Structure 1
Amino acid sequence: MFLGSSYKMSTSKSKAHFSTQTLPKAAITINFFFSESFLNKHFQEVELSQGEPQPGDLYLFKLLSSSLQCCGTHVGVYCGKGEIIHFEGVTTKNGVGGTLQSLLEYNEGKVFKEGLRQMQRERKLSRVLRRRGGINHKDLELRVRKAMDNDPPEYNAISSNCAHFALNLLGMDSTLLGECCIFKFCSKESMSKPFQEVKLDQGNTLPGDVLLFKKPSSMAQSSKVHMGVDCGNGEIIHFDGKTSSRGRGQRLWDNCEGVVCKENLDALRSSGRLVHVLRQRSGIKTEELESRVQTAMTSIPPPYNDISSNSVHFALKLLGTNTN
């Protein structure tokens, strides 16, 4: 889920432009790893005042960075003997740690154990979850030992993070995370209210339909979920950041040059990169959409930022939808 700066569009005849407006509670959440529907299906919440933790319990800790105005969730697994095992990205030289690694890049990962009491002192505990039906403790012990003995995998905030690591320790398929949180940067719950999903095999899209598609990065292992809008005439309009000269995207907290462009919709569909199509339940006013599209194409675009000024903000503002 993204919460951050949003677009404010002006269609004044004298001067049409885009600008950004900071929301009062600017923050991003990295806890898109878990949706409530996923948790309710596979886990139950545990009140620790009613007993001791059990091996396999998931500990969800809140993360907060006052400098980056970012909050998120870090996940660890209680592995017995008063210890938590968890997985993080190694802190870089400039002091920015694994919580806000670039979504486009893989970074060195680190698996380690910490005392439960120590983690509770250093990090704010959010909740404790226990897998429904229980777990096989011997299998957990073997996975924990293997995780501690082997070289850790690379860390990536989307595809190889603390949540994937924790579920794998419990013997669960970590790819379920992607299925339950298909929108990555928008919570499924918040998008389901104003939008309904359109099946990809049920005819052509309509102007105003929101298209979620995979945008490959320079690394074959990683991809971003991008958002665009069907603007008619067989085209899709979307907002992106200009790739740096080194061929790699900007970090989450950096701005880069923004680019508004149109692409052929049929080409996108035939490429296999189109993942979901959403349609606004209340419908759209075609003339207003055309006006906003023209404004976006003829104005100088704002800087692009993965957190505060991204394809999601752009697409929703084109539809006249609040990005809160």
Structure 2
Amino acid sequence: MTEEFAVSKPALPVARLSALAALVIAPVVVLSASPWSANSSLWYLGMLPAVMGLFSSPRLALGAAFLTPTWMGLGLLLQGLPVAGALYMAAIGAAVGLSALRGWHVMGAFAGPLAAYALIGAPDVAVSFSVVPAGSTLGAGLALMGFVAAGGLWTTVIGRQVTAIIPLNPPPDVPLRAAGYFAGALALLIGIATYVEMQWLDAPNAWRVVLTFFVVVQPYYAATSHRVVARVVGTLAGAVLAVIVAEALTNEPVLITIVALALTAAAPWANLTRPYWVFVLFLTPAIVLQTAGGTEAIVRGAFERALFTVVGATAAIVVLTIGHQLIARRSRRSLGQVPDAGGGRMGVGPP
């Protein structure tokens, strides 16, 4: 069982749940087989924050459906502005961290990276039967926001029926002190990474480093350490699985989409019942297989996702370990400082 969620275990109506799952993924399948196939990945990305919001409440999922495209639209406006982009992403990181006070950070960890995707990743969108960069025109940007919002709203409507069948315990609230440290760590890591990527790197997929920060940094240091290892293991295994599927189904884009959506449906189940690395094992190919451009692009996307995940996870654990040691040392000193009767010095000892 993962640390965020728990679920009660009544007898489940499998047929009804399967029908609802089919309804959730049907628009992505239809889009992938249409002239607007490039927009299927945008619809799919809009689904993810809404799904995670459902673990708290349908109302939060509905909020995610509107918040995610809004953040992405603002990200498009800041493309090419490293300082403004870094401050914007740092603010989102801080907001996600502070939202842990209500247990909303799990949803935020999926919405926040999509803002980075729009800002750094240069997403494309299909408009008028042609594919253009989402930031190229106002119409293209609005089209991106529309498809992302539609994916989130559709997921919220259908997902509400699922949560009526499967009662979920929402993520626990985080105390103010822990949420404050969490917000500061996210803002620092994400702000610096965004500036470096926008100022010096010519690698659109480098936004995955920001994604890694959002998903591995947790309110508590022990959970972060565990999450880093699980994320790296699950991502590497999932990247290999994505490459295998892409090579086996070369020139079968609709079949690849169906496999990706089946893995997407399996990911929430894994998040509820299996260790976190299994969830990542399913989610990684589910996302990578949505990459437009055929087998070659999917293989390249799998490699880059694995590479940037390792880079981000390593940077996160190094920075947070140093910060954890400094905070722990300061706490010990503040608790253990007592006047030294012999020489007036302050000593560190048990309180």
TM-score by length of 2: 0.27
TM-score (norm 1): 0.28
Question: When you count helix as a share of all residues, which structure comes out higher?
Answer: 2
